[in-house]
Homo-oligomer: A and B are copies of this chain.
Amino acid sequence: MDFARPLPAFLVQRYHGWKATTYAENRAWYRRLADEGQRPRAMVISCCDSRVHVTSIFGADQGEFFIHRNIANLVPPYEPDGNQHGTSAAVEYAVTALKVAHLVVLGHSQCGGVQGCLDMCEGRAPALEESSSFVGRWMDILRPGYEAVKEAEDKPRALEKEAVKVSLNNLMTFPFVREAVEGGRLSLHGLWTDIGEGGLSCYDPASDGFVPI
């Protein structure tokens, strides 16, 4: 493991700044969180994209949100085949062990993963179609969503929102999610944020669309 490197100086410096301020001011709370365990109110599934800041948008305090981030905020369908499913593991832990009350899927504008899926669906991305492409195979989860948006005026935006809907629908294929939702112990929410405008819309079942908050 001689390839591992020390942390870059700018991160070391920022960490020390955090330790001397935010940590010092909240030490008692962090100790309690360490001693008594987390009890997050909600799970958020968002994209890895560096421009999406869940904690900032929602004024999050340490301990409030259990956050899973993957490419394009996707949830695959329930597949208990004994293989490794990182997203399904995160959902299982949040719902069955932590018993979160809310599960939020947060999509966003200018999503590179969604654009890649669109390019695959329209034959413009042979590299992503290769079986060795991890991004391509991951974005296959969204392929069934293409049908619903192929006539849309702004296909990338439409497919980003479709990704939220696909994930919400896939979540309901997990027996423990469905049971918690039907038993009134868990609420599902679909959001989409516009990075440039700072906008936030919520999926509304009545209109089957996203309405600004």
Give residues in A with beta carbon < 8 Å to B.
Answer: 1-43, 48-51, 53, 55-71, 74, 76, 80-94, 97, 99, 101-102, 104, 109-110, 112-113, 131-135, 137-141, 165, 168-169, 172, 180-181, 184-191, 194-198, 200, 202-205, 208, 213
Contacts and interface: CB of A to CB of B under 8 A. Distances in A.
A26 to B, nearest CB: 5
Contacts of A27: 184, 187, 198
A134 B85 contact: yes
Given A15-B58, A138-B86, A3 B80 contact: no
A96 B130 CA distance: 15
Contacts of A194: 34
A113 to B, nearest CB: 7
